[in-house]
Each structure stands twice: as structure tokens, then as C-alpha cells.
Chains A and B, each alone.
Chain A
Amino acid sequence: MLNRYFVPVYGSNEDVVAGGSAPAAEKAERQRIYRTYLDRKLGVGDVHIYILTADGEPLDGMSVGEATVNDTNLLNMLNRVVKKLGNAPGQPVVNPGPQSVAPAAAADALVLHLSARGAARGTSYRMFPAENWIVLDKQEWMSLLPAGEAKVNDKWTVGKDVASKMLIKFYPQTVEITAGVERGRIDRQELTLTVTSLREGIVRARFDGTLHMKHGSVAQNEDFFVDAVVTGFLEFDSHTRTIRRLRLVTKKATYRDEEFLAALRSVPQAAQ
């Protein structure tokens, strides 16, 4: 229905506040829409659905609570608008495509994708897993490799800064406000690599590690903690010293008292 009758658009509030990353025209229009709905007492909210004419005039609206409390409220509103306007259905005006995409990165960077899901479902922000993109520049990913020639059972510790960058998003879906602000504080971490095999120039090393991290859900001063045991593997070419695959997953992990699963994987840049 959205594709056939509407021009759908979503936008984060933090992008349109003062200092946000959105262009000035975008900020002004979002502010104008908000003020218009507010002045006309049509209902507003941070997490809200606004149905507008092409000129940005209010047609309808609904809070996310009302929209997600059942399967019919939102659909009924959309049908009401379509019936009122009487416009004909058509093809999507924008081609659908992946909305979680890797950030632009240097050709020699290592792009990592993280996916995390908590055991508890039910609330609207728990309907699908959380994702993050982490980019390690060449200097950072090179630090994952041993200094010299690798031998089976060689073991080394991943540097603190790179390990932190890899582990800081290991938490399930939470209520996120100001997503650009890092609310994790790693109190303890350990991440080691141990060579488990050497085959035709390909070295495989096993990750083992632990994480104890404070992570505030909404306010930064909440005392909520992640405790995790992680494992995984790193494959690299001993001749070219390039990483072929990186996988790092939670073996056992809790946030507050909830179990969760997080997985970090390298993504070939051509495949993004």
C-alpha cells in the first residue's frame, strides 16, 4: 500500500535538531510540519506517522503506539486516506532497496557488519535485530595479525582500541536516542587470537574473549551491563597479509538479565 499509493519517507529526529546532519531545508520542513500539526492540535510525537499532501499539509496522523498496538489501526488510516483522495495505484516512485548499508570506506579498509538480537520479543523495536557497521582502517586491521610468521598455537592479544571498536556494539536492541552518541563504556575486555591451522598459506586463528560493558539504554547514567563470552575466527593469507574472513560471535551473553546473541562478520566490499 505504501508503495502503490504513497511517497514513503522516514527520518531520524536527531538529524533535524540544531547541529544535526540534515540539510537546512530538511530541518526547516520537518520543523514546519511539526509546528503545523501542533498548532492545529492534530497530534504530534517524536515517534509518529504524519500523512501529508504533496504541499506538506496535514491529511492524517497517528502515534507509533496506536499504529503498532494491532494490525489494523495503521492500515485503516492508510485506506481512509486513499479513499478520501481517490488516487490510482501505481508503481513505487522510488525503487525499494536495502536500508542498512555499509558506510563509505577506503578500498583497503575492513568493513564489519554486526547483528544483535535479544531473547525477548514483543515491543516494536524488538521485531527485528539491531545492526551496526564498523570500519577498521588498514592500520587497525593489520594490528589483528601477528608480527611475524605464524605457527600453530601462537597466541596474541588484540590491542585495546581495536578490540573496543569491535565489541562496543555488542548489545541487543535497546531504546536508542541520540544514536550518534556512544553510550557504551567498556570496563573489562579481553580478546585473544590463537593460531589453529595453517593450510596452503592460509592461517586460521581462533578468537577468545570476554566483555564487561556498561551500556545506558536511554539516559547515559543507567547502570545496565553487558557480560559476554565471545569466540570466533580470523582467516588471513600469510603471504599477502590480508584478511579473508573475520567472524566474532557471542558464546554466552547477557544484557541486564536478558540473554542475547551478537555476531560480527567481515563483508567483502564488492558484496556490500
Chain B
Amino acid sequence: MGLSNLAAPLLLCLPFLVSAANKPEVDEDKFIAWVQGRVQQAQPTKAERKFDQVGWAKGIVDAERLAKLHNRPVFLFTHDGRVNWGRC
């Protein structure tokens, strides 16, 4: 049996060995992408961030000061919890 005959089964195995060696990395990359996808899915979308498009005053005292300065009415929204965190 020549060397090539001996090597043949190893050569046949080589793709498997390479595949096995790479598999954890491939699986890990897929896993990372999946996790990142879940993170992205949980984030508020731009449409859900409309609250940030309003120029909110720091408090009612500050709002009344600005209202006098700019001759505007005050829009006061009172709530429980933390509306800016969606925990309300």
C-alpha cells in the first residue's frame, strides 16, 4: 500500500476535520448575530421615540418661566412612574 493509499482516508476525512474545527466559530457567529438581533428587536424604534421630538421643560417652575418669556401657554402632563422610560 503506497503512501497515497494510506493518505486517501485522511484526505477524505479532511473536509470533515476542517468543518469540525470551524463549526464552533460558525455557530458562535450565528449565535452572536441572533443575540444582536434580539437586542435590536427590543429597542424603541424611531416611531416609538416621538416623545424625544418634543422640547420638554425641566419642571413646572421652569415651564412657567419660559412661558412668560415666550408668551406661550404651558402643556403639563402629570403621570405615575417614569413616562420617559415607558415605565408608567
Contacts and interface: CB of A to CB of B under 8 A. Distances in A.
Contact of B81 (A87, A179, A233, A262): A179
B13 to A, nearest CB: 23
A26 interface: yes
Interface residues of B, number: 52
A73 interface: no
A56 B39 contact: no
Interface in A64-103: 64, 78, 81, 85, 87, 90, 92-100
B60 A33 contact: yes
A101 to B, nearest CB: 8
Given A54-B67, A92-B54, 16 more contacts: A7-B64, A9-B76, A10-B83, A29-B64, A30-B60, A46-B79, A52-B76, A59-B73, A85-B73, A94-B56, A96-B56, A129-B44, A131-B44, A196-B28, A249-B35, A263-B39
Interface string A245-258: 00101100000000
Interface of A: 2-3, 5-14, 22-23, 25-26, 29-30, 33, 45-56, 59, 64, 78, 81, 85, 87, 90, 92-100, 115-117, 125, 127-132, 173-179, 196-197, 204, 206, 231-233, 247, 249-250, 261-263, 265
B73 A176 contact: no
Interface of B: 24-25, 28, 31-32, 35-36, 38-39, 41-44, 48-49, 51-64, 66-88
A206 B36 CA distance: 13
Contact of A129 (B63, B75, B83, B86): B86
A54 B81 contact: no
Contacts of A47: 78-80, 88
Contacts of B66: 7, 93-94
Nearest to B67: A54
A129 B76 CA distance: 23
A90 B70 CA distance: 9
A132 B72 contact: no
A117 B48 CA distance: 12
Question: Chain B contact residues: over half helix, strand or loop, or mixed?
Answer: helix
Given A6-B72, A231-B35, A232-B35, A12 B83 contact: yes
A263 B41 CA distance: 9
A14 B71 CA distance: 30
Contacts, number: 236
A85 B75 CA distance: 14
A130 B74 contact: no
A182 B75 CA distance: 30
A54 B76 contact: no
Contact of B52 (A11, A54, A96): A96
Question: Chain A contact residues: over half helix, strand or loop, or mixed?
Answer: mixed
B71 A87 contact: yes
Contacts of A54: 64, 67-68, 71-74
Contacts of B75: 2, 6-9, 49, 51, 78
A176 B80 contact: yes
B70 A7 contact: yes
17 contacts: A8-B63, A10-B56, A12-B81, A12-B83, A54-B72, A64-B79, A78-B75, A93-B57, A94-B57, A96-B56, A97-B52, A115-B44, A175-B88, A197-B24, A233-B31, A247-B35, A265-B39
